[in-house]
Amino acid sequence: MREIIFDTETTGFDPKNGDRMVEIGCVEMINRVETGNSYHAYFNPQRSMPAEAEAVHGLSEAFLADKPLFAECAQEFLDFVQDSPMVAHNATFDFNFINAELAMAGHRAIDLDRMVDTIVLAKAKHPGAKLSLDALCSRYGIDRSHRTKHGALLDAELLAQVYVELRGGRQIGLELVAQTTEIVSETKVLTRKDRPFRQPRPHAATDEELSAHAEFLKSVDTPLWGA
């Protein structure tokens, strides 16, 4: 099964108030294993960057000034995500921004049925616990030492690891499959024509054995087979 783990960075909290998406990072997973394929882009929001937002992700107006508009990259983004389920932390927030940007670019919204929210999964698995991405990384021993600020692609990569744990963790057998494959590849498989011919060994009871068995049966009281 193909899934897209993603994150966005924005100028604020609500696209209805004029906030815009400035970065998106997507990681492809197939059967809960990262494939190495990803999509990452920065966008010019065509508006100012509030200091509070810049403090979170570090993306300034000057840095974003020469970046493309989302409308210029929308089809490329849609081609990458295809019709796969899309996984995000607090996914409603990210879907609101993506669908607002798609609408402004003249594209259809992404169906919310495709949305998977890792906060919902975490609440069910760890009721009452802290649910931030940092907290979940700590819980599962995921290294985030290189995360000094929020970044869409980095956060998507971390979330991909968290998502696997929330869904049950890595299966130990996956490592054994690789080891077994190596052993099998080094083992010569004998075909029928390669095997040496051996005469079949006698396996019928001798007269003495049949006589001894008959005597033994006479000594059995009320045998089941005589009922």
Provide the annotated active-site residues.
Answer: 150
Structure tokens at 118: 């890792």
The distance from CA 199 to its chain's CA centroid, rounded to whole angstroms, is 55
Alpha-carbon Rg for the chain in angstroms: 31
Whether 56 and 26 have beta carbons less than 8 Å apart is answered as no
- Please give the Cα distance from 140 to 46 (Å, whole number): 39
Pairing of strands 33-42, 21-30: antiparallel
- Please give the Cα distance from 16 to 8 (Å, whole number): 16
Structure tokens at 157: 């990569």
